[in-house]
Structure 1
Amino acid sequence: MARYIRILVSIILLAIISVVSFTEWSFKVTETPEVAADIKSVMPQYSYNCVDKDHVLPLDRNGELDVTVWNIYKQQRENWQKALKEYSADSQLVLLQEANLTLGLAEYLRNASWQVTMANAFKFLDTSAGVMNLSSASANKTCAYLSMEPWLRLPKSALFARYQLSNGQALAVVNLHGVNFTLGVEEYEDQMAKLERVLASHTGPMILAGDFNSWRQARLDIVEAMRERLGLREIELGNDQRIKILGQPLDHLYYRGLILKKAEAPLTDASDHNPIIASFKITPARSSVATQQ
């Protein structure tokens, strides 16, 4: 019997070592947040934390701003590209979560007219994964942020971007993927606090959106408190098909300093999340330009 126990223990240890070795070999996690701009290949050049651009064009189109927010599920469904084209057809800003920079996505980006920025959360078999912004005009500043999943030891990413608007104001945007697998809410609260500090000094219009993984009330309470402190409103959805866990929606879009025209979250089978699509008008130009971050 002792012999069989030793054999069983040896098998278990070998299995654990194999899993750990595979994880270390296949996943590459950076300790410093990395952001890449204008991605057109599967081997983008990442810089540390932030990138800046001068002489950018306005993001909106004649005072209209359409935004799509979608967890694209690492493009695991065959019809992801058709759906992405459909949902983003009228958008000037697309905020993606769980973007996986595969050959298919890289080819789509090369053939599209988007300006692209991506936060590299980690690489799996040398393929970058994280949140991604697609925009009709470049941001004048983009920064990446990481928050570690305490159990999986793989980070969730976020992007802060600042876009110019045609009324002279700057639009601050945070695209985030919330920390998911935790027993309590400490790590989740730390992630939200980090992003709130990024936004707190911005006095102009703002969008905070993404997959918040707000699947329990305690998490949603943290987000709601953050929303209130930043003076944000959550969009009202005419057709709300957002995925829910334990009765709570995971995906959100909060805004301020913009006029909401309409918003919906249509049903799709191209991901395990349904997108949020919102249309805004920007406020008329003022004599004094809002202070930028």
Structure 2
Amino acid sequence: MFDIKEHVDTLAKKFVPSYRFLRSQKSTIDKSHSIQTELNSNSIKVLSWNIAKNNYSEKWLEDFLKIIEQHQPNLIFLQEFRLELGLTNVLEWLEMSWDFAPNFIDAHHQSYSGIFTAATTSSLNKKAIITKHHEPIIKTPKVSLITEYPLSHNKATLLAINSHLINFVDLNKFKIQLHELELAISAHRGPIIFSGDFNTWSRKRAIILDKVVTKLGLIPVNFVPHESRKIKRFLLSPPLDWIFYRELSEKKVSAIVLDRIYSSDHKPLLAEFCYTDTLNN
């Protein structure tokens, strides 16, 4: 009888040296920019994108610069971001503060890989959540980064969660990661944006995710059908990439997916929100 786990382990030993992917000793790395602007409660422009570790390629830089210039996001969620070891001046020209949470070190490329969140103001708090379980073959965990930001003219703060959910594992391990995120998110009183690559390539995974976000009072950004069709899928699967939110008003005309981007197999998601106290009274 064919044993898929044994087959995966054999491939791992054959093609992936055990010393290549190492656990990072740092939970987060951050950089504050000299220019600081509170998130504007009347307009919070969000970009979410799995960039497939391509941020050192010229094509990705060209795509990213074009997006920044045209859409001017205030909050950026990037998944599968590479950060060279010892390098902290990455994207210095971005004029934004950023936080990075690595899930492993690639010894071959001398770089971290992980989650990158940038904003027009420094985060008040940050926390990385690493999965207890590992994906097969390269035996690495997945990471989520939770950051909190001040909002202009408001006592409320915005909680931002940038996530990449575990793949190629059984549903129970997928549930465990989401449960850990649910516990962390549920403690926040105020507006929330929960975004990233959720690897919801099956109906079962999508249903599990829907139950968690519904319990948290989060709703998905409403991409109209012709925009939604551009989001990364596997055949007829649900979308892999999502932006969820709570206690914010969505500016629906701004919810778009940039399809003329070729530096990653995922397309960037863009949305715009506003926050007012009257929404929550």
TM-score range, shorter chain: 0.7 to 0.9
What is the SS of the residue equivalent to 1:74? Answer: coil
Given the alignment, which residue of 58, 61, 66 partners 2:40? 61
SS in 1 for 2:204: helix
2:100 is aligned with what amino acid? M
1:203–1:154 distance in 2 versus 1, CA, 3 Å: same
Distance in 1, matches of 2:190 and 2:12, equals 51
The match for 1:207 is: 193
Instruction: Decide whether the 8 Å contact of 1:210 with 1:252 is kept in 2.
Output: yes
How many residue pairs align between the two structures?
254
Question: Is the alpha carbon distance of 1:33 and 1:144 closer, same or farther for their aligned partners in structure 2, counting shifts above 3 Å?
Answer: farther
Match 2:258 to one of 262, 266, 271: 266
- TM-score scaled by length of structure 1: 0.79
What stretches of structure 1 move > 3 A for 4+ residues in a row? 15-20, 56-59, 105-108
Gaps of 5+ in 2: 1-10
Please give the alpha-carbon distance, in whole angstroms, between the structure 2 residues aligned to 1:266 and 1:16: 35
Kept in 2, the 8 Å contact 1:168–1:285? The answer is: no
1:95 matches 2:77: yes
CA-based RMSD: 2.7
1:159 to 124, 135, 145: 145
Which stretches in structure 1 are left out of the alignment for 5+ residues?
1-14, 41-55
Alpha-carbon offset, residue 221 of structure 1:
0.8
Match of 1:178 among 165, 181, 198: 165
Listed one character per residue, the Cα deviations across residues 69-93 of structure 1 (whole Å, up to 9, x for unaligned) are 0001101754111211222341110
Q: Check 1:222–1:85 CA distance in 2 against 1; reply closer, same or farther (3 A cut).
A: same
Is 1:254 the equivalent of 2:244? yes
Q: TM-score, normalised by structure 2?
A: 0.82
- What fraction of aligned residue pairs are identical, expressed as a percent? 26
1:33–1:146 contact (8 Å) kept in structure 2: no
Residue 169 in 1 paired to residue 149 in 2? no
SS in 2 for 1:189: helix
Match of 2:221 in 1: 235
Q: Distance in 2 between matches of 1:170 and 1:151?
A: 38
Partner of 1:51 in structure 2?
Answer: none
1:133 to 101, 112, 117: 117
Report the CA distance between 1:285 and its aligned residue: 7.2
CA distance 1:265–1:243, shift in 2 (3 Å): same
Corresponding position: 1:149 with 2:134: yes
Q: 1:122 aligns with which of 89, 104, 118?
A: 104
- Provide Cα deviations, 1:16-67, integer angstroms capped at 9, x if missing partner: 86756x331x22114x770111189xxxxxxxxxxxxxxx966423621000
Quick check: 2:41–2:275 contact (8 Å CA) kept in 1? no
Distance 1:171 1:62, change over 3 A: closer
Contact 1:235 1:260 in 2 (8 A): yes
Instruction: Quote how far apart the aligned CAs of 1:163 are.
Output: 0.8
Change (3 A) 1:17 1:63: closer
Return the letter of the residue paired with 1:273.
H
Instruction: Give the structure 2 partner of residue 23 of structure 1.
Output: 18
CA separation of 1:264 and 1:273: change in aligned 2, threshold 3 A: same
The whole-number CA distance in structure 2 between the counterparts of 1:17 and 1:73 is: 24
Counterpart CA distance in 2 for 1:109 and 1:175 is 18
Q: How far does residue 149 in structure 1 lie from its aligned partner after superposition?
A: 2.4
Cα distance between partner residues in 2 of 1:272 and 1:17: 27
- Aligned partner of 1:214: which letter? T
Which AA in structure 2 matches 1:23? Answer: S
3-state SS in 2 of match to 1:155:
coil
**Counterpart amino acid of residue 201 in structure 1:** A
Over residues 164-200 of structure 1, what are the superposed CA-to-partner deviations in whole Å (9 max), with x where a residue is unaligned? 1112211111100010111x20111000000010001
CA 1:37–1:218: 2 relative to 1, 3 Å: same
Matched letter for residue 127 of structure 2: C
Q: Does the aligned pair in 2 maintain the 1:58–1:164 contact within 8 Å?
A: no
> CA 1:277 to 1:100, structure 2 compared with 1: closer, same or farther past 3 Å?
same
